[in-house]
Chains A and B, each alone.
Chain A
Amino acid sequence: MYPPLPNPGTGPSAPKFGEKDLVRRSASTVTPPAQRQTQVAKLIDVSKCIGCKACQSACQEWNDLREEVGTNDGTYNNAHDLTPASLTVMRFTEWDNPETGNLEWLIRKDGCMHCEDPGCLKSCPAPGAIVQYSNGIVDFDHTKCIGCGYCVKGCPFNIPRISKVDNKAYKCTLCSDRVAVGQGPACQKACPTQAIVFGPKDDMKKWADGRIADLKSRGYKTAGLYDPQGVGGTHVMYVLQHADKPEIYAGLPNNPRISPVVELWKGLTKYTGLAVMGAVAAFGFVHHMIAGPNKVSAEDEANASKLAGGKS
Chain B
Amino acid sequence: MSGNIDSGGRIHPGDPVVVDRYTPGARANHWVTAICLILLALSGLALFTPSLFFLTGLFGGGQTTRAIHPWIGVVLFLSFSGLFFRFWKLNLWKREDGEWIAHAGDLVAGHEERMPEVGKYNAGQKMVFWGMSLLIIVLIASGLTIWDEYFFAYTTIPTKRIAVLVHAISAVLIISVWIVHVYAAIWVRGTMGAMTKGQVTGGWAWRHHRKWLKDLVTADRQR
Nearest opposing residue in chain B for A26, CB measure = B50
Tell yes or no: A148 within 8 A of B by CB: yes
Instruction: State A174–B187 Cα separation when bound (angstroms).
Output: 58
Pairwise interchain contact B47-A125, C-beta atoms closer than 8 A:
yes
| Segment with Cβ contacts to B, from A30-38, A39-47, A182-190, A304-312 | A304-312
Tell yes or no: A54 within 8 A of B by CB: no
Which of A127, A280, A284, A296 makes the CB contact (< 8 A) with B190?
A: A296
Pairwise interchain contact B17-A301, C-beta atoms closer than 8 A:
yes
Tell yes or no: B67 within 8 A of A by CB: yes
Chain B proximity mask over A258-275: 1 for CB below 8 Å, otherwise 0: 010110110001101110
Pairwise interchain contact A301-B187, C-beta atoms closer than 8 A:
no
Q: What is the distance, in angstroms, from B149's C-beta to the closest C-beta of chain A? A: 7
B47-69 contacts to A, CB under 8 A, are: 47-50, 53, 56, 61-63, 65-67
Chain A interface extent, by class: 35 or more
Pairwise interchain contact B13-A146, C-beta atoms closer than 8 A:
no
Q: A149-B146, A301-B201 are in contact. Are A307 and B213 (CB under 8 A)?
A: yes
Q: A276-B176, A304-B206 are in contact. Are A265 and B62 (CB under 8 A)?
A: no
Chain A residues near B190 (CB-CB < 8 A): 295-296
Which of A269, A276, A311 makes the CB contact (< 8 A) with B13?
A: A311
Chain A residues near B13 (CB-CB < 8 A): 305, 308-309, 311-312
Chain A residues near B171 (CB-CB < 8 A): 273
B88-102 contacts to A, CB under 8 A, are: none
Instruction: State A270–B161 Cα separation when bound (angstroms).
Output: 15
| Segment with Cβ contacts to A, from B26-34, B106-114, B123-131 | B106-114
Tell yes or no: A28 within 8 A of B by CB: yes
Pairwise interchain contact A308-B149, C-beta atoms closer than 8 A:
no
Q: What is the distance, in angstroms, from B81's C-beta to the closest C-beta of chain A? A: 25
Pairwise interchain contact A280-B207, C-beta atoms closer than 8 A:
no
Nearest opposing residue in chain B for A158, CB measure = B157
Q: A261-B162, A311-B11 are in contact. Are A301 and B50 (CB under 8 A)?
A: no
Chain B interface extent, by class: 35 or more
Pairwise interchain contact B202-A269, C-beta atoms closer than 8 A:
no
Interface SS of A by simple majority? helix
Q: What is the distance, in angstroms, from A90's C-beta to the closest C-beta of chain B? A: 22
Pairwise interchain contact A265-B168, C-beta atoms closer than 8 A:
yes
Tell yes or no: A126 within 8 A of B by CB: yes
Q: What is the distance, in angstroms, from B5's C-beta to the closest C-beta of chain A? A: 14
Tell yes or no: B38 within 8 A of A by CB: no
Tell yes or no: A97 within 8 A of B by CB: no
Pairwise interchain contact B202-A28, C-beta atoms closer than 8 A:
no
Q: What is the distance, in angstroms, from A143's C-beta to the closest C-beta of chain B? A: 10
Tell yes or no: B160 within 8 A of A by CB: yes
Q: A27-B50, A294-B188, A297-B203 are in contact. Are A277 and B179 (CB under 8 A)?
A: yes
Tell yes or no: B103 within 8 A of A by CB: no
Given known contacts A148-B47, A305-B17, what 17 new A-B pairs fall within 8 Å (CB)?
A125-B48, A125-B50, A146-B56, A152-B157, A153-B160, A153-B164, A167-B67, A261-B161, A261-B162, A264-B165, A280-B180, A284-B187, A287-B108, A297-B203, A308-B220, A309-B13, A311-B13
Q: What are 18 inter-chain pairs, A to B, with CB distance below 8 A? A: A125-B48, A147-B67, A149-B148, A153-B146, A153-B160, A158-B157, A259-B158, A265-B161, A270-B168, A272-B172, A273-B169, A274-B49, A288-B187, A294-B110, A294-B187, A300-B204, A307-B217, A308-B17
